Amino acid sequence: MVIRGSCRGQPIIFSRRAGSWTVALDRDTVFAYDGEGRLWSAYLEGRHYRRGLDNRVLEKRREGGRRRRRWLPPAERDGLLDRIAALLRRRTADLSLEASSDEETDLRRQLARAIAFGAQAAQEDAQRYHRIYKPVGILPPDQYLAFVVQITEGCSFNTCTFCGFYKERPFRIKGPGEVRDHIRAALDFLGEGLPLRRTIFLADANALVIPQPRLVELFQIVGEMLPLAGSHRRGELPRAVASHQRGELPHAVASHRFQGIYAFLDGFSGRKKRPQDYARLAAMGLRRVYIGLESGHDPLLAWLRKPGSAEDALEAVRHIKAGGVAVSVIVMLGVGGQQFSRGHVEDTIRVVNAMELGPGDLLYFSEFVDHPTLPYHRLAQEAGIVPLTEEEMEAQRAAIVAGLRFTDGRPRISTYDIREFVY
């Protein structure tokens, strides 16, 4: 829905959809908020900003023909949030709207929330978020706006030299009562912003590693508390709606439907579940599993200290697809540098082709990002690894794509830039 207004002769456009709304003060000043009035996106003076629920703010801009990005330091972040709130207050002080009485009342209520969302309110909101969630390390790009349910914490193996998302977090599986409390708290926190979240993502790193009987129990809890589209019989209320009517869940749950459940899984654990296991999870809402293949070249995987082999990942993908669940396979570009490049390209082509990906599946290419605090950096220096330039990584991607063959239609092929993740 688009609502037009003006303030002191200057046009203002409000765009509303379930769980969020956007205000365009002019073509170069656009702010987006969730239904609770939390700023989550801004375009100001040629720069894009994305605020996460943890109150981190990522700035993105074009410079010298390249995309630049940086995380704002706290003082600069707070200054930006206060500036946006003040600007919104000033530019809507004498607002007139072309809207019905009910629309105007609701929009002015939302606007008042947004104006109040300065630095102090954002910090308090983030403190509340941190009482519910451990840090959400990473999500696939198509799941950045998912409703995250942390049924596990950490990573079950946590040995990869290139990953620092879970280094200081022991792996553990949450119990049923803990998961219920976690979901209730997250629903209450998101409030009227819940409809912005279209899918459910089970975290952390490889949540589906949970033994099948315990995993099925947790899926049942998720289905009871979070209504999935098409998950109930005709004439029957979704269990989550019935729970809301009994006063057990927030109001926002009653009218919202999630479009499936998604999760990470490592390849060597994924093959341990059989197709019938995945079929059972598919019947409970599982739609896609994300597997970090990284490379089809076993010597490189071993050097990266990634457990398992490319064959493990291949077998896991076959089991998942045989169970009626789509997959997303993640391939890293540039990892292992020039020394591993040829084997990486050749073997990755071979393995991905054997996976027989098709429509409904995803193939992500993720540029390797070297961080000096991670073991990879030291090991690469000791081994004399020559890193690939951005141009060489682009050429590596082109070489892999050129070698791929799909017999029953193509999967969607896209970019996975971990530097742009904000939850």
Q: Is the pLDDT of residue 358 over 90?
A: yes
Does 232 map to a domain? no
408 or 283: whose pLDDT is higher?
283
What CATH number does the domain containing 346 carry?
Answer: 3.20.20.70
Q: Is the pLDDT of residue 416 over 60?
A: yes
Give the number of domains in the chain: 2
Are both 188 and 109 inside the same structural domain? Answer: no
How long is the chain?
423
pLDDT tens readout for residues 110-130: 999 999 999 999 999 999 999
| Residue 247: per-residue pLDDT | 59
- Could you give the CA distance from residue 262 to residue 203 in angstroms, rounded to a whole number? 9
> How much is the mean pLDDT over the chain?
93
Are both 40 and 171 inside the same structural domain? Answer: no
Averaged pLDDT for residues 308-326: 96
pLDDT tens readout for residues 118-163: 999 999 999 999 999 999 999 999 999 999 999 999 988 888 999 9
Does 238 map to a domain? no
| Residue 57: per-residue pLDDT | 98
Does 135 map to a domain? no
Averaged pLDDT for residues 2-31: 94
| Residue 408: per-residue pLDDT | 87
242 or 349: whose pLDDT is higher?
349
pLDDT tens readout for residues 400-415: 999 999 988 999 999 9
Q: Is the pLDDT of residue 232 over 90?
A: no
Are both 279 and 187 inside the same structural domain? Answer: yes
Are both 165 and 310 inside the same structural domain? Answer: yes
Are both 157 and 205 inside the same structural domain? Answer: yes
| Residue 350: per-residue pLDDT | 98
Domain end point (choices 65, 100, 127): 127
A 10 A CB-CB count for 417 gives 14
Are both 198 and 64 inside the same structural domain? Answer: no
Domain end point (choices 92, 127, 162): 127
What contacts 149, CB < 8 A, 6 or more positions away?
179, 182, 183, 186, 200, 201, 202, 203, 222, 226
Q: Is the pLDDT of residue 237 over 60?
A: no
Instruction: Convert 255-295 into a string of H (helix), E (strand) and C (coil).
Output: CCCECCEEEECCHHHHCCCCHHHHHHHHHCCEEEEEEEEEC
317 or 165: whose pLDDT is higher?
317
Domain that holds residue 408: 142-211+260-420
- Could you give the CA distance from residue 335 to residue 210 in angstroms, rounded to a whole number? 29
Averaged pLDDT for residues 382-394: 95
Domain end point (choices 127, 162, 193): 127
Are both 117 and 161 inside the same structural domain? Answer: no
153 or 232: whose pLDDT is higher?
153
Spatial contact of 114 and 37, defined as CB atoms under 8 Å apart:
yes
The pLDDT confidence band at residue 76, using thresholds 50, 70 and 90, is very high
Are both 42 and 178 inside the same structural domain? Answer: no
Are both 294 and 371 inside the same structural domain? Answer: yes
- Could you give the CA distance from residue 146 to residue 278 in angstroms, rounded to a whole number? 21
Does 132 map to a domain? no
pLDDT tens readout for residues 207-216: 999 999 999 9
| Residue 378: per-residue pLDDT | 95
The pLDDT confidence band at residue 252, using thresholds 50, 70 and 90, is low
| Residue 43: per-residue pLDDT | 97
Are both 195 and 104 inside the same structural domain? Answer: no
Are both 35 and 184 inside the same structural domain? Answer: no
| Residue 145: per-residue pLDDT | 95
Are both 120 and 268 inside the same structural domain? Answer: no
